[in-house]
Structure 1
Amino acid sequence: MSNQQQQMMRQAQAMMKKMTAAQEELAEQETTVTVGGGTVSVSITGDGMVTGIEIKPEVVDPDDVEMLQDLILAGVNEAITAAKELEGEVMGGIAGGLGLPPGLL
């Protein structure tokens, strides 16, 4: 194996270590979003796992379940967007070092 190939292998191994560390960091970071004027909160980790949903009692109306469903859906979707943004921030530094286009990692 040439020196150039060995150097590329070392770089690839270092990159894998950075990616693993970044994935572990994402799994530990949590963000919470609120919708409906604070009536529904959704917590999600950076790797996309929903860890909690809180619903204020005043928004629970048996005659308007559809509104509550819409609020939960909106909260989950916003939380997913926030998790993707966090992932982009954490993984972007790694991808930038490779010269890869965003979203490829």
Structure 2
Amino acid sequence: MKGNMGNMMKQMQKMQKKMMKAQDELHEMSFEASAGGGMVTVLANGKKEITDVQIKEEVVDPDDIEMLQDLILAATNDVLKQIDDKTNETMGQFTKGLPGGMF
């Protein structure tokens, strides 16, 4: 019985190392989303940090700031969703088949 427990602990440590490596790789990834046909582009890393915002000059209209704000929000929300989806896809492989609440 002790052998099984030791083996299980080794398996858990191995899985933990793989999870940490996958998480580090995710943090290094770049994500990009745009709105308004490319008028606003938002770049972020896997840590959900916005690294750049690009705005085409022709979308800047002092009489319609609200449209620009909407485009920035749309692109930002899209890039954050991409990060969440990729994180769930990548990290989900480690939790498949585990009883709920174990991790």
TM-score band, normalised by shorter chain: 0.7 to 0.9
Q: What's the offset of the Cα at 1:79?
A: 0.5
Figure out how many residues of one structure are paired with residues of the other and give that number. Answer: 102
Query: Aligned partner of 1:74: which letter?
Result: A
Q: Map 1:43-54 to 2 at 5 A.
A: 43-54=43-54
Query: Aligned partner of 1:100: which letter?
Result: L
Q: What's the offset of the Cα at 1:78?
A: 0.4
Q: Which residue of 1 aligns with 2:27?
A: 27
Q: Which residue of 1 aligns with 2:61?
A: 61
CA-to-aligned-CA distance 1:54-92 (integer Å, 9 cap, x gap): 111111111111111111111110001111111122212
Asked whether 1:42 is paired with 2:42, we answer yes
User: Identity of paired residues, percent?
Assistant: 45
- Counterpart-to-counterpart distance in 2, 1:101 and 1:56: 49
Asked whether 1:100 is paired with 2:98, we answer yes
TM-aligned CA distance change 1:65 to 1:101, over 3 Å: farther
**CA root-mean-square deviation:** 2.0
Segments of structure 1 that go 5 or more residues without pairing to the other structure are: none
Query: Aligned partner of 1:10: which letter?
Result: K
Q: Which residue of 1 aligns with 2:73?
A: 73
Q: State the secondary structure of the residue aligned to 1:53.
A: strand
Q: What's the offset of the Cα at 1:46?
A: 2.4
Q: What's the offset of the Cα at 1:51?
A: 1.3
Q: What's the offset of the Cα at 1:101?
A: 7.2
Relative to the length of structure 1, the TM-score reads 0.86
- Counterpart-to-counterpart distance in 2, 1:37 and 1:101: 44
Relative to the length of structure 2, the TM-score reads 0.87
